[in-house]
A = this chain, B = another copy of it.
Amino acid sequence: MPPRQVNIAVIGTGGVGTAFISQLETLSKRLASAPSPTSLNLVLLARSTKMLFNDFTPLSFTNWTSTLSSSTTPTPSPSDLASLLSKSKDPIILVDNTSSQELADTYPLILQKGIHIATASKKAFSARTTWNAIQSASANNGHTGGGYIYHESSVGAGLPILTTIHDLVDTGDRVTKIEGVFSGTMSFLFNSFQPVPGAGTGVPFSAAVREAKEKGYTEPDPRDDLNGLDVARKLTILARLVGVDVESPTSFEVQSLIPKELESAGSADEFLARLPEYDGKMKAYETTAKAMGGVVRYVGKIDVAKGEVRCLLEIFKVDHPIAALKGSDNIVSIYTERYGANPLIIQGAGAGAEVTAMGVTADVLRILRALH
C-alpha cells in the first residue's frame, strides 16, 4: 500500500514556528517509516510578507530559513490562502503559528473549505461570533465536509489542559470550577515579588517587572501582560469549553496591574521608569497576605454555577498548590462532580517555544488520527 499523503502549510516562522518546523521534520521521518506509513508533506511555508509554495510539491526542510528569505512570492491574504489550500488533492492541515487576528478571523472560512487547522493562537477564540462560526464549521462537531481544528497550546502551551477538559466533558463529567495561574509572566512576577517562605527574598514589584522584561518573559511593552488580557483570553476559551457563554475577554472582571496614571504613560521605558512610584500599593497586598499566612498571586477563576469569570489578585495559604508554583510555571485546578473536593491539577511550563510547538505538533497528530 502506498503511504497516505497529508499536506501541511505552515504560517509563521518566529520562535514557535521554527520549533514547530523542527518537530515536524522529526515527525515526518518517523511517520514515513511507520508500519502504515504517512507522507507528511510540507507544501507551504510563509511568514508575514513572503512564502514558499510550488503547487503542492513538497518543500525541503533543509535550509528553509535562507530559501524563504530569498523567496519573491508574496504571502497572500488569508482568504486567498484559503482558496489556494483548498485546491490540495490530499487532506491539508494549516498550522498557524502567528498571532494574526486577520488569519484567525478567517478560520471559519478555512474550515468550511475542509482545511484542518492546528494553532497556538488565542486570537480566533475571543469573540463569541467567531467562536460560534468555528463550532458550526468544524468537523470536531461532526459537520460533514468541515475541517478539524485543535488549539491545545492556546492555553498553558503544551500542558494537556484543553484535551483533559474535553475528555471530562465528553465522558459526561461536569466541571464546576476552574482556577489557576495561566500566565508564565504573572507566575514569574509573583514568585519574584513574594516567594513562599524558604524560597528566597522578595523584590519590589517594579523590580520584578524589570527583571522579567530583561529575561524576555514579558511582551515588549510589559503593560500587555500586566493588563490581564492575556489571562482573560485564555479564561474565555476555558469558560466556553465548560459551558459558560462569555461575550469576550473584556466582558468580565479583569483586574489590571497597571496603575491608572501609567496606562498611557508613553513608551515601555517611560512606564518602567515611573512604576516604582506605585510599589507601595503592591506592598500592601504583600503585607496583608503575609498577615494571613499566605502569598498573593494573580489568578484566573471560573465558577460554572454562577456563570462567573474573573482575573484578579488573590491570597493563597503557603501550602496551597498555587502558592507552591515555581519559576514561570502555570497551574490549573479543575474541579468536577466526579473528582469532588480534590481537583484534578495540571502544572508545568506554560510558555516557551519548544513546549508551545509541542502542543501544536500534538494537534497535528490528533488531526492525523481523526483522518485515519
Chain A residues within CB distance 8 Å of chain B = 1, 23, 26-27, 30, 34-37, 141-144, 158-160, 163-164, 167-168, 170-173, 196, 198-199, 319, 321, 324, 326-327, 329, 338-340, 342-349, 352, 354-355, 358, 361-362, 365, 369-372
Contacts and interface: CB of A to CB of B under 8 A. Distances in A.
Given A34-B142, A36-B143, A198-B319, 10 more contacts: A26-B172, A35-B141, A36-B142, A36-B144, A158-B167, A167-B362, A171-B361, A321-B321, A338-B355, A342-B348
Contacts of A355: 338-339
A342 B365 contact: no
A166 to B, nearest CB: 9
Given A168-B358, A365-B167, A342 B329 contact: yes
Contacts of A326: 342
B342 A349 contact: yes
6 contacts: A163-B163, A167-B358, A170-B362, A199-B319, A344-B349, A371-B372
A143 B321 CA distance: 43
A362 B163 CA distance: 11
A30 B172 CA distance: 9
Contacts of A1: 144
B343 A339 contact: no
Contacts of A173: 358
A86 to B, nearest CB: 21
A171 B342 contact: no
Q: Which of A170, A329, A348 has the most CB of B within 10 A?
A: A348
B340 A349 contact: yes
Nearest to A20: B171
Contacts of A369: 369-370
Contacts of A36: 142-144
A358 B336 CA distance: 12
A372 B371 CA distance: 7
A324 B319 contact: yes
A348 B343 contact: yes
A184 to B, nearest CB: 11
Given A170-B362, A171-B27, A35 B143 contact: yes
Contacts of A358: 167-168, 171, 173, 338
A8 to B, nearest CB: 14
Given A164-B160, A321-B321, A365 B198 contact: no
A201 B327 CA distance: 32
Contact of A35 (B144, B164, B168, B196): B144
Given A198-B319, A355-B338, A159 B344 contact: yes
